[in-house]
Structure 1
Amino acid sequence: MMLLGKLLFYIQFGLVFHVVICFKDTVEVPRFEDSLNNLTVSLGREAVFTCVVNDLGSYRVAWLRVDTQTILTIATHVITKNHRIAVNHSDRRVWFLHIHDVRQSDRGWYMCQLNTDPMKSQTAYLDVVVPPDILDYPTSSDQVAREGANVTLRCAAHGVPTPTVVWRKEAGDLLPTSNFSDTHNSSVNGAVLQLVKVSRLHMGAYLCIASNGVPPSVSKRVMLVVHFPPIMTIQNQLVGAKEGDTVHLDCHSEAFPRSINYWTINDQIISQSDKRFEITAVERGYEVDMRLKIKKVGRNTFGTYSCISKNSLGDTDGTIKLYSLSGKFEEMQYNEVGDSEESPDVSELEALKRSTAARPYSSLGLFVVIYVVL
């Protein structure tokens, strides 16, 4: 059977054996000049095997797929029905096998074969690499969590070779995670990102980045929204002024969902149309800087002012006393006012916000005033 198979193969080459035998002492025997090189090709690109044969003479070159035992080409003729296969040569010495639009199914061993007796051949491997891709499922979509809850973000990527996955904050901020004890990292390796007891500082866009050395790398953006009730911070709760002065009262509110913010004087809501005042607010994400400008202090503007912040999770307010200057006040004070509900993990939040010197707030609204009446 082996001899029959070899005979059929030679017949396909169109050889006359007795001619080869009679002239074997005078006809040069073909030989390979270089070895057949392995190829690594990206999905969708073209793979080209190169087979260099010296003194081919009347012999022929065939290309075969080894693992499927498929004859692809003989000489300049394409035998396979695969339209992505092509063959050409340069002076019948350098032979090229082209595989267009490479697919993963093309991965395997290929042979350049000469119909000599005995047969000569050399083989090489085609490896097909696939750039990374991020799967919609089970990769996380945008997340909404209450402050203090645990959040898990997942990123599923595939490709050849298997991609590595890195998580990082889109804005470049450090990741306050517990994946690595209490350390803060600019990025975290792994398909799963664990965020323990999330705070407002965790809020923002996270990037899942997958790469495997095959360009391009890919990423997916996952938005984390953290909900928490309002808290209010007031730098000065007692402000003295003379009649005719212009005074600014300031409150700092943090809340998400975004809060409704307004001012009252002596428990009466101050409207935007009140000519005595000018109300402004500067929003930065979940933070709002509230300012009330008293254009001209008068008898009817002294009293107790409240800045109030409300959202679906709660409400809070802070008070500022505007009094007529009848003495010298030597110290202003700092105060934070929180919602009546316990705000989760405030101490942790303050530790993370090392940039501020604020004291942990108390829902009792503690403050100290020291003054001397002259």
Structure 2
Amino acid sequence: MNSIKNLFGLCLLQIFTNNFVNVNSEMQVSVEREPSFTAPIENISVALGREALLSCYVTNLGDFKVGWMRAADQTVLALQGRVVTHNSRYSVTNEEMKIWRLKINNIREADRGCYMCQINTTPLKKQIGCIDVNLPPDILDGESSKDVTVTEGQNASLYCSAIGNPQPKIIWRREDGNPMIFKVNNKTRRTDTYEGELISFNNVNRRQMGAYLCIAKNDVPPAVSKMISLNVNFAPNVSILNEKSVHVLENTHITIDCLIEASPRTVSYWIKEPFGRSYQKLHENPHQNVLQESEKYNISESFHSYYKTTLRMKISNFSESDIGMYSCVASNIMGRANATIHLYEIKIPTTTTTTTTTPAPTTSTTRRTTFAYTTRRAYTRATTTTMATTTEVSSTEPQFEYITFNPEFNEIPGGDSYINRPHLNVAYSTSRAGESSFHHVCMLVVALMSFTKLFLLLR
């Protein structure tokens, strides 16, 4: 009886053991066939307007399904190979049921965020991948400086604000390509570029005037820029580029250049007056004396920078009537200034020679003409003539020329002080050490006769 019980127990144990092995094998197979992720989803950064692609790697999917959803609001985007959201920019693809990809075309800033890849196991298996949308820089006009205007010597600041992803950096440079000038600890520093949202100028001078470019850029093209002008106002400075006193050869042309530095730009013109007029009278009603464009006066204006201008005048066929004072006048809201040049005439010298011939003897008569600089006095000629005689007279003795100078110092109230160049009032005198032997004999005879007559009378 006991042996029968033992045999029955052994049978039950064998049956239980076999059943346990079968169940364990089925459970092991079930565990091995459960789907899983083989790699994490990589986070990506995409420029605005480009295409974003997230990849989910799955193995042993079997009859399970893969879905995509937006992590922030749990919005289902796709299930298996079918898009369920009503957005044509989304699509889903898979490769051999192992790689499931979510594609977003024409990426927008609103697409920035995280996305979830799920397998509908119990419990759910999921992975998350994020998209960062890179934005090109954009300058905020409302938070940046407008054009700035200050008076020379004041302080000025320019500010520029920009947004983008990643955050843009701001670089400043001058629009004309010249270096920027800063004063740091009473020292002048020059640099081609400056980095930072704020740029400050202490004790501004006219050389810092100009257009400045605020350039915002990050790793997303294109970079953007904004131009901000720094205007520095100051009263005019006027200077004549020629000498202040010029002698012009008659019937020639002369060009006068006047350099004007001012901001804002000036009203500029030339006026003319003869010598001897005071500055006050010259400018009591300057528009009556303003020179106009004509065949005589060719007036032009050229701009060199934000504050430098040249006012040029060409006087054609210079003559005695053109002698006088010429003033370059410039004025703006900050003030008024002038500079004066004095023009004189040089006459062209003329020489004539005539020869008179008689049978015997022959005497030459030469007329010599001199010339002088013309100023306020009339042009004069001095002539020396040797009269014809029956005997040829010649002399190698020197002639002496006397040249006198008449410098004048003038000062125009409110204008330039200047020293006139010497007015060459030229006068010639001819002296000879003795007369010819013939003339000496004649004079001696006359003297003797006069002496003899006087002696006889006295007796």
Q: Same fold (TM over 0.5)?
A: yes
The structure 1 residue matched to 2:195, chosen from 184, 189, 192, is: 189
Of 307-316 and 57-66, the range deviating more from structure 2:
57-66
Q: What is the 5 A alignment of 1:139-158?
A: 139-158=144-163
Aligned positions of 1:289-328 closer than 5 A: 289-325=310-346
Q: In the superposition, relative to structure 1, how do residues 260 and 49 fare at CA in structure 2: closer, same or farther (>3 Å)?
A: same
Q: 100-109 vs 203-212, which deviates more?
A: 100-109
CA distance in 2, matches of 1:276, 1:36: 86
1:25 corresponds in structure 2 to: 29
Tell me if the contact between 1:248 and 1:293 (Cα under 8 Å) persists in the aligned partners.
yes
Alpha-carbon contact 1:178-1:194 (below 8 Å) kept: no
With over 3 angstroms needed to count, the CA separation of the structure-2 counterparts of 1:310 and 1:76, relative to structure 1, is same
Shift of the 38–369 alpha-carbon distance from structure 1 to 2, 3 Å rule, reads: farther
| 1:279 matched to 2:299 | yes
Paired amino acid for 1:271: L
- Which fold has the larger relative contact order, with Cα–Cα distance below 8 Å and residues 6 or more apart in sequence? 1
Query: Does residue 256 of structure 1 match 2:263?
Result: yes
Deviates more, 1:197-206 or 1:101-110: 101-110
Going by fraction, where is helix more abundant, 1 or 2?
Answer: 2
Match for residue 173 of structure 1?
178
Residue 237 (1) aligns with residue 244 (2):
yes
Q: CA deviation at 1:171?
A: 1.6
CA distance in 1 between counterparts of 2:191 and 2:133 reads 35
- Give the distance between the partners of 1:86 and 1:274, measured in 2 at CA: 78
Do 2:319 and 2:345's aligned partners in 1 also have CA atoms closer than 8 Å? no
Question: Aligned runs of 1:198-217 on 2, under 5 Å?
Answer: 198-217=204-223
Task: State the shift of 1:81 in Å.
Answer: 6.2
1:53 counterpart residue number: 58
Q: Is the CA contact (8 Å cut-off) linking 2:272 and 2:326 kept in structure 1?
A: yes
1:190 Cα shift? 0.8
Tell me the TM-score normalized by structure 1.
0.74
Query: Is 1:125–2:145 an aligned residue pair?
Result: no
Q: CA RMSD in A?
A: 3.3
Equivalent residue runs for 1:66-85 within 5 Å? 66-79=71-84, 84-85=89-90
Mark the CA change 1:123 to 1:196 in structure 2 (over 3 Å): closer, same or farther: same
| Alpha-carbon distance change, 308 to 89 in structure 1, aligned in 2, over 3 angstroms | same
Give yes or no for contact 1:179–1:193 (8 Å, CA) kept in 2.
no
1:269 maps to: 289
Over 3 Å counting, the alpha-carbon distance change for 1:371 and 1:213 in structure 2 is farther
1:355 equivalent in structure 2: none
Q: Aligned pair count?
A: 322
Q: Distance in 2 between matches of 1:110 and 1:298?
A: 92
- The whole-number CA distance in structure 1 between the counterparts of 2:312 and 2:112 is 68
Letter in 2 for 1:222: I
Task: Please list every run of 5 or more consecutive structure 1 residues that lacks an aligned counterpart in the other structure.
Answer: 1-20, 329-336, 341-362
In structure 2, distance between residues paired with 1:370 and 1:262: 25
CA distance 1:148–1:368, shift in 2 (3 Å): farther
Q: Which amino acid aligns with 2:147?
A: D
Q: Which residue identity lines up with residue 327 of structure 2 in the other structure?
A: S
1:178 & 1:105 partners in 2: Cα distance? 46
- Shift in Å, 1:300: 1.6
Paired residue type of 2:314? K
- TM-score under structure 2 length normalisation: 0.62
Superimposed CA distance per residue, residues 138-170 of structure 1 (whole angstroms, 9 cap, x where no aligned partner): 211222332222221111111222211111111
For 1:87 and 1:108, the matched residues in 2 are separated by 18
How many Å separate the matches in 1 of 2:234 and 2:44? Answer: 56
* Distance across 1 between alignment mates of 2:198 and 2:216: 12
Q: 1:214 to 1:275 in 2, by over 3 A?
A: closer
1:137 and 2:142 aligned: yes
Measure how far apart 1:24 and its partner are: 6.5
- Name the SS of the counterpart of 1:182 in structure 2: strand
CA drift at 1:113? 2.6
Bigger CA radius of gyration:
2
The runs of 5 or more residues in structure 2 that have no matched partner are 1-24, 274-281, 283-287, 347-371, 374-402, 404-411, 427-459
Distance 1:77 1:294 in 2: 89
SS state at 2:141 partner = coil
How far did residue 252 of structure 1 move? Answer: 1.0
**How big is the shift at 1:40?**
0.7
Question: What amino acid sits opposite 2:296 in the alignment?
Answer: R
1:201 Cα deviation (Å)? 2.2
Cα distance in 2 for partners of 1:369, 1:33 equals 100
Work out whether residues 207 and 220 of structure 1, in 8 Å CA contact, stay in contact via their aligned partners in 2.
yes
